[in-house]
Amino acid sequence: MSARVVVVTGSSSGIGAEAAVQLGAKGWTVCLLARRADELEQVAERVRAAGGEASAYPVDLTDDAQTQATVEAILADHGHVDVLVNNAGRSIRRSIRDSLDRLHDHERVMAVNYLGAIRLTHALLPSMIERGRGHVVFSSTMSTQVPIPLFSAYLASKSALESYARSLLAEEGHRGITTTIVYFPMVRTPMSGATSIYAAMPMMTAEKAGGWLVKAVVDRPTRVTSLGGAAGQAGMSVLPGVLTKVITPQIRRMDKSLARKKSRPE
C-alpha cells in the first residue's frame, strides 16, 4: 500500500502544527509548508517522534514561482498527494470605518488567505485529477456563519475561500475530488494572540483544533463545525437581519468586558 501523503500549510505553529503531529501519529506522511524554515524543521521532528514521516518545504504562497517549485518538489519526493490542507492564514482586526484609507489591509489578507490557497490548490489539482481522486481541506472560521464586526478583511477572504470550495466540489466531486470546509471558533494561537484583549477570552486549544483538521482529512465530511456555528449559519439563511441585531450588540459588550479584564492588575 502506498503512503498516505498530506500537505499542510501554515504548519510551523498553531493549528497546522498540531494537526501535522496528530496525522503523523496516524501514520501519514506529512508535507509541512510555511515561510519559517527553522520552525518547520522543529514541527517535522515532532511528527517523526509521533510515528509519521515529515518533510519541510519553506515557501511563500503569495509567490507563483515558489509555489510551483514547491509542488514540483513534493511530487518528485512523494509521487502523489492524497489530501491538501489549506490552513495558512492571516487576520486583521480593524473596523471598516478605520479601514477606509487602508485598502492594503484587504489586499494583504486576500493574498494569503484566498489567493495563496487557490494558487497552491491549482498547482496540485492536475496531479489529483490525473489520479482520479484527492481531497482539499479549507480552514475557515465560525465568524463567517454568524455576523461578527471588526474583521471585514479576514471574513471576506474566508467567505471567498468557502465559495471556491463549494464550486470545486460541485464541479469535481463526481470525479473523485472532494472538499471539506472547517469552521473554527476562536482558537488560542499566535494569530489570535495578536489581539491583546483576547488574552482573557476562553478559546479552543490548538491541539483540539488540530483534531478538527484531522477529522477533515480522515473522514472527509463536507463540513466540520460546532453546534453553535451550524445554528448561526441556519439562522442567517432565514433571518439575517434579526440575527445581526441580536448578536452584534452582545459581541460589543463582550469586547468591552474583555478589555476591562485585561486592564485589571494581576
Structural domain boundaries enclosing 191? 5-263
C-alpha distances out from residue 6 to 79, 188, 194, Å: 12, 24, 29
pLDDT of residue 262: 56
The 3-state DSSP class for residue 28 equals coil
pLDDT of residue 72: 98
How do strand 83-86 and strand 134-141 relate by DSSP bridges? parallel
List the catalytic residue out of 114, 154, 164, 183: 154
C-alpha dihedral (251, 253, 255, 261), degrees to nearest 10: -140
Q: From first to last of the 266 residues of the chain, give the pLDDT tens digit.
A: 478 999 999 999 999 999 999 999 999 999 999 999 999 999 999 999 999 999 999 999 999 999 999 999 999 999 999 999 999 999 999 999 999 999 999 999 999 999 999 999 999 999 999 999 999 999 999 999 998 899 999 999 999 999 999 999 999 999 999 999 999 999 988 776 666 666 767 889 999 999 999 999 999 999 999 999 999 999 999 999 998 999 888 888 877 776 676 556 55
Residue-wise DSSP of 100-153: TT-HHHHHHHIIIIIIIHHHHHHHHHHHHHHHT-EEEEEEEEGGGTS--SSBHH
The verdict on whether 154 is a catalytic residue reads: yes
Instruction: State the Cα–Cα distance between residues 109 and 154, nearest whole angstrom.
Output: 6
Q: What is the pLDDT of residues 179-213, one digit of tens each?
A: 999 999 999 887 766 666 667 678 899 999 999 99
C-alpha distances out from residue 142 to 73, 80, 193, Å: 34, 32, 17
pLDDT of residue 250: 85
Cβ-contact 217, 83 below 8 angstroms: yes
- Residue 115 gets the label, from left (phi > 0), alpha (psi -120 to 50) or beta, of alpha
Neighbours of 5 (CB within 10 A): 21
pLDDT of residue 191: 72
First to last CA, the chain: 56
What CATH number is associated with residue 207? 3.40.50.720
Instruction: State the Cα–Cα distance between residues 214 and 15, nearest whole angstrom.
Output: 10
Q: What is the pLDDT of residues 138-175, one digit of tens each?
A: 999 999 999 889 999 999 999 999 999 999 999 999 99
pLDDT of residue 172: 98
Instruction: State the Cα–Cα distance between residues 89 and 10, nearest whole angstrom.
Output: 7
pLDDT of residue 3: 87
Distance of alpha carbon 18 from the chain centroid:
13
**For the chain, what is the domain count?**
1
What beta strand segments (E) does the chain contain?
5-9, 29-34, 53-58, 83-86, 134-141, 177-184, 223-224
The 3-state DSSP class for residue 265 equals coil
Instruction: State the Cα–Cα distance between residues 197 and 247, nearest whole angstrom.
Output: 19
